[in-house]
A and B are shown apart, each in its own frame.
Chain A
Amino acid sequence: MALRLPSKVLKHILSFIDSNEDRNSVSLVCKSWFETERKTRKRVFVGNCYAVTPAAVARRFPAMRSLTLKGKPHFADYNLVPDGWGGYACPWIESMAAKSPYLEEIRLKRMVVTDDCLERIAASFKNFKVLVLTSCEGFSTDGIAAIASTCRNLRVLELRECIVEDLGGDWLSYFPETSTSLVSLDFSCLDSEVKISDLERLVSRSPNLKSLKLNPAVTLDGLVSILRRAPQLTELGTGSFAAELKPEAFTKLSKAFSNCKQLQSLSGLWDVLPEYLPALYSVCPGLTSLNLSYATVRMPDLVELLRRCSKLQKLWVMDLIEDKGLEAVASYCKELRELRVFPSEPDLDATNIPVTEQGLVYVSKGCRKLESVLYFCVQFTNAALITIARKRPNLKCFRLCVIEPFAPDYKTNEPLDKGFKAIAEGCKDLRRLSVSGLLSDKAFKYIGKHAKKVRMLSIAFAGDSDLMLHHLLSGCESLKKLEIRDCPFGDTALLENAAKLETMRSLWMSSCFVSFGACKLLSQKMPRLNVEVIDEHPPKTRPESSPVERIYIYRTVAGPRMDTPEFVWTLHKNPEIGVSKLAIK
């Protein structure tokens, strides 16, 4: 056959292709391309740990060096997934230990990781370099100690927002006594104190350390002493920022920061007292990322800080910034790409509004590079959404959380349909969208029609009828993840669009109107979907037509899972309810 690329040449070409989406496309061309691609893929990403078996992954990608896995559905972050649902890392680690001993990097998100698991990682992968656990749980500081002591080539150890059984700060002393190869260490989610002397010595013998995120137990004094030993840091998460207001302490802190000439990212700042903020002024001009979401700093102080951050690209802040503060951000932070504004009080109401829609409008007008927004506020208007869409057609991620459920446009009392229509139509590159406020059928018709590139869609407290879900499932071509809570969507739309579900990673629906009968039907007809009903009460105890609490549906080539807890009902587990059809791998 003419024009057949020798595999060596193909291999060389593929070595330039990093994106897994591209590599997936390459694998579909023909068998030989599939073979060459799979043998050269080093970074493997599995978006749903139940979509495929660990053995299958290990078999397909013998050259795997980096594995990223995600477990629980996203809404687990907001306590909507009961404990014990699943997402266990162990079977994966076991499998990789046996088949991919050259694995160097493991990144897990929303998974249950045990100490045994961590010890297994430490023992099995000789060249282990990177461990990043995001929103994980199930392990203690003993497991961390095992990693620290055994993985001699460890470069990255990051515990991001994990729930860890904290048995004390000893784990820090388990790093090897000789110099370490640590580049990044993040223990910001741990509660207990670490010995400052341990930390100081670790930092001193880690010449490559670039990123360090401390936990709140580290005091300002501790921070100063660390900064003196690591002025080369590019990313810093401070500890607690509260202390006695002594001029000497302030001067020391200020000097320590001014020596960190390469600092680009700053976070932590728990309990920050406004009086200490000026100590940060020297690093502000170089900052590209600032996370103030734990800093209850109020207005004039915030502006004083932010107006010095002309290179800022990412800003996470609480709504204490107020519209005024956002106006200032719009004029000083011209490089801003990502803005997140979090609520300072869980129960905001109309009498207590720190930020309004105007704040986001300011930033949309002033920051030309803005592409990612997460904004919490009490109420919104269509006019504001229309302006935002017009000014920022380059938005890629737009998540608006109008805290008041079903809140209409507070000026016109209409639903926010027109506003979200403008967003869907205007922002052609939108990848991620979260909607809220009062929304009717129409809004979803527009979204279905225009949001062609949206991959992830989150909906809460919206809707009139099943038509809305139908619009979304039949319209949004690129939809991969759909999560819905408290909407009157039900069986019809689901069953009508069953095929769509196989083109998506997952669908979550909670407190909607989906019946067990429909789930059963779907399960029978779509063997390559796992349809999980998450409900306290056994399906037998209710009529088939009554709604279930939550459903989680995902495509899989691994067949039904075997580790479901008692509150998860699947057709496989309960064959007496219907015909069970096991998928053949």
Chain B
Amino acid sequence: MELDLGLSLSPHTNSSKLGFDFDLNKHCAIDGSTASCLDSENLHFEATFRLNNEEGCYVQKPSVFALNGQPNEEDEDPLESESSTVYDEEENSQVVGWPPVKSCMIKYRSYHHRHSRNHHHCPYHHHGRRITAVMNNRMATVESVGSSSTTSSRSSMYVKVKMDGVAIARKVDIKLFNSYESLTDSLITMFTQYEDCEREDTNYAFTFQGKEGDWLIPGDVPWRIFAESVHRISIIRDRPCAYTRLLF
């Protein structure tokens, strides 16, 4: 876009049209050998720039390329220094507004830092795989826990499991499992092992009771929520096995 200013500055114009009070050409004694720029359209510009520095009629480069806008006392040319000295002398000085993230985001980041530490140690990250062996040993009557509502890590969480038709309830450590399948498989194994039932010819229906008392079907909620809040498990079979018939 051409501007009718009477100045008509354009980078390709000759310097005589510059129109500023200073005519760069007056000072100009372009020494071809010092002009390193290969592009002729920049030759004039570069020469000007270099010339002005030599003449001292333009800005002196400040002593230090200070990032926070405060000039420094030292006499070092920052452009030749390593990037590590870009920052201020003090180790902890931060560059204002860098990286360019809006303050509303930074506000919430610090909130996260303060409040989300505990989330990094959620028990579900540490589920063990040693299911069967441990289960067979652990029949101790540790208190069933279901009252804690935080996500702090706990070493074990025993829950009562009652299979219908079986007089004695078992307790299992939910923390040893990492999915509904592994839990239900193990429970079935446990009960069939001890109750001497056929595993293949029965359908097992699992329900569990949460803290509020509602009975829910596994799969309704993601495993992790289940694992934190399950209080009791109930198993219903649609074909009672021989042993239990004997009990009634």
Using CB atoms and an 8 Å cutoff, list the residues of chain A in contact with chain B: 75, 77-80, 135, 161, 189, 244-248, 250-251, 270-271, 273-275, 278, 293-294, 296, 342-346, 376, 401, 403-407, 438, 445, 460-461, 464-467, 470, 473-474, 485-486, 488, 490-492, 495-500, 502-503, 510-511, 513-515, 517-518, 521, 525-526, 545-547, 549-550
Query: In the complex, what residues of A have CB within 8 A of residue B37's CB?
Result: 467
CA distance A461 to B104 in the complex (A): 24
CA distance A464 to B103 in the complex (A): 30
Q: Contact at A273–B59, with CB atoms within 8 Å?
A: no
Any A CB within 8 A of the CB of B129? no
Q: Contact at B101–A251, with CB atoms within 8 Å?
A: no
CA distance A419 to B59 in the complex (A): 32
Question: Of the candidates A251, A405, A486, A492, which one forms a contact with B52 in the assembled complex, judged by CB atoms under 8 Å apart?
Answer: A492
Q: Contact at B99–A499, with CB atoms within 8 Å?
A: no
Chain B interface size, as a band, is: 35 or more
CA distance A250 to B214 in the complex (A): 13
Query: In the complex, what residues of B have CB within 8 A of residue A161's CB?
Result: 102, 104
Question: Of the candidates A246, A474, A492, A513, which one forms a contact with B225 in the assembled complex, judged by CB atoms under 8 Å apart?
Answer: A246
Closest chain A residue to B66, Cβ basis: A511
Q: Contact at B220–A247, with CB atoms within 8 Å?
A: yes
Q: Which of B1-45 contact A (CB under 8 A)?
A: 1, 3, 5, 7-12, 18-21, 37, 39, 42, 45
Q: Contact at A271–B116, with CB atoms within 8 Å?
A: yes
> How far is the CB of B133 from the nearest CB of chain A, in Å?
27
A sample of 20 inter-chain contacts (CB < 8 A) reads: A78-B97, A245-B225, A246-B210, A247-B221, A405-B83, A407-B83, A467-B37, A467-B49, A470-B42, A485-B97, A486-B65, A488-B65, A502-B3, A503-B3, A510-B69, A515-B58, A545-B59, A546-B62, A547-B62, A549-B69
Q: Contact at A497–B9, with CB atoms within 8 Å?
A: yes
A405-B98, A499-B3 given; A79·B210 CB < 8 A: no
A401-B100, A488-B79 given; A467·B46 CB < 8 A: yes
0/1 per residue, B175-214, Cβ < 8 Å to A? 0000000000000000000000000000000000011101
0/1 per residue, B59-81, Cβ < 8 Å to A? 11110011111010000000100
Q: Contact at B69–A403, with CB atoms within 8 Å?
A: no
Which of B1, B18, B98, B149 counts the most A-chain CB atoms under 10 A from its CB? B98
> How far is the CB of A14 from the nearest CB of chain B, in Å?
24
Question: Of the candidates A445, A466, A499, which one forms a contact with B9 in the assembled complex, judged by CB atoms under 8 Å apart?
Answer: A499
Any A CB within 8 A of the CB of B156? no
Q: How many A-B residue pairs have CB under 8 A?
A: 181
Query: In the complex, what residues of A have CB within 8 A of residue B210's CB?
Result: 246-248
Any A CB within 8 A of the CB of B239? no
Q: Contact at A346–B229, with CB atoms within 8 Å?
A: no
Closest chain A residue to B124, Cβ basis: A275
Q: Contact at B102–A251, with CB atoms within 8 Å?
A: no
Any A CB within 8 A of the CB of B126? no
Question: Of the candidates A461, A465, A499, A510, which one forms a contact with B49 in the assembled complex, judged by CB atoms under 8 Å apart?
Answer: A465
Any A CB within 8 A of the CB of B130? no
CA distance A500 to B11 in the complex (A): 9
Query: In the complex, what residues of B have CB within 8 A of residue A499's CB?
Result: 3, 5, 7-10
Query: In the complex, what residues of B have CB within 8 A of residue A77's CB?
Result: 100, 102-103
Any A CB within 8 A of the CB of B228? yes
Query: In the complex, what residues of B have CB within 8 A of residue A246's CB?
Result: 149, 210-212, 225, 229
A77-B102, A496-B45 given; A294·B108 CB < 8 A: yes
Question: Of the candidates A80, A250, A346, A404, which one forms a contact with B221 in the assembled complex, judged by CB atoms under 8 Å apart?
Answer: A250
Any A CB within 8 A of the CB of B115? yes
CA distance A550 to B96 in the complex (A): 13
CA distance A274 to B19 in the complex (A): 65
Closest chain A residue to B209, Cβ basis: A247
Closest chain A residue to B5, Cβ basis: A499
0/1 per residue, B106-128, Cβ < 8 Å to A? 10110010011001000000000
Q: Contact at A405–B105, with CB atoms within 8 Å?
A: no
Query: In the complex, what residues of A have CB within 8 A of residue B104's CB?
Result: 161, 189
Query: In the complex, what residues of B have CB within 8 A of residue A515's CB?
Result: 58-59
Question: Of the candidates A275, A376, A491, which one forms a contact with B224 in the assembled complex, judged by CB atoms under 8 Å apart?
Answer: A275
Any A CB within 8 A of the CB of B158? no
Closest chain A residue to B51, Cβ basis: A492
CA distance A75 to B112 in the complex (A): 25
Query: In the complex, what residues of A have CB within 8 A of residue B229's CB?
Result: 245-247
Any A CB within 8 A of the CB of B86? yes
Any A CB within 8 A of the CB of B151? yes
Closest chain B residue to A546, Cβ basis: B62
Query: In the complex, what residues of B have CB within 8 A of residue A270's CB?
Result: 108
Which of A247, A346, A497, A500 counts the most B-chain CB atoms under 10 A from its CB? A247
Q: Contact at A503–B1, with CB atoms within 8 Å?
A: yes
Query: In the complex, what residues of B have CB within 8 A of residue A344's CB?
Result: 109
Q: Contact at B7–A498, with CB atoms within 8 Å?
A: yes
Query: In the complex, what residues of A have CB within 8 A of residue B234's CB?
Result: none
Query: 4 closest A-B pairs (Cβ-Cβ)?
Result: A78-B97, A474-B11, A499-B9, A406-B83
CA distance A499 to B60 in the complex (A): 24
Any A CB within 8 A of the CB of B153? no
> How far is the CB of B242 from the nearest CB of chain A, in Å?
35
CA distance A345 to B52 in the complex (A): 44
Q: Contact at A496–B59, with CB atoms within 8 Å?
A: no
Q: Contact at A496–B224, with CB atoms within 8 Å?
A: no
Q: Contact at B69–A511, with CB atoms within 8 Å?
A: yes
Which of B7, B69, B119 counts the most A-chain CB atoms under 10 A from its CB? B69
Q: Contact at B103–A79, with CB atoms within 8 Å?
A: yes
Query: In the complex, what residues of B have CB within 8 A of residue A407's CB?
Result: 83
CA distance A406 to B151 in the complex (A): 42
Closest chain B residue to A273, Cβ basis: B119
Query: In the complex, what residues of B have CB within 8 A of residue A492's CB?
Result: 45, 48-49, 52, 58
A77-B102, A515-B59 given; A250·B97 CB < 8 A: no
Closest chain B residue to A246, Cβ basis: B229
CA distance A466 to B103 in the complex (A): 31
A492-B48, A525-B7 given; A250·B101 CB < 8 A: no
Query: In the complex, what residues of B have CB within 8 A of residue A278's CB?
Result: 222
Any A CB within 8 A of the CB of B216? yes
Query: In the complex, what residues of A have CB within 8 A of residue B108's CB?
Result: 270, 294
Q: Contact at A79–B97, with CB atoms within 8 Å?
A: yes
CA distance A404 to B1 in the complex (A): 38
A79-B97, A343-B99, A346-B109 given; A405·B86 CB < 8 A: yes
Q: Contact at B220–A521, with CB atoms within 8 Å?
A: no
Q: Contact at B225–A346, with CB atoms within 8 Å?
A: no
> How far is the CB of B52 from the nearest CB of chain A, in Å?
6
> How far is the CB of A478 from the nearest CB of chain B, in Å?
10
Q: Contact at A406–B86, with CB atoms within 8 Å?
A: yes
Question: Of the candidates B9, B19, B20, B97, which one forms a contact with A80 in the assembled complex, judged by CB atoms under 8 Å apart?
Answer: B97
Closest chain A residue to B15, Cβ basis: A496
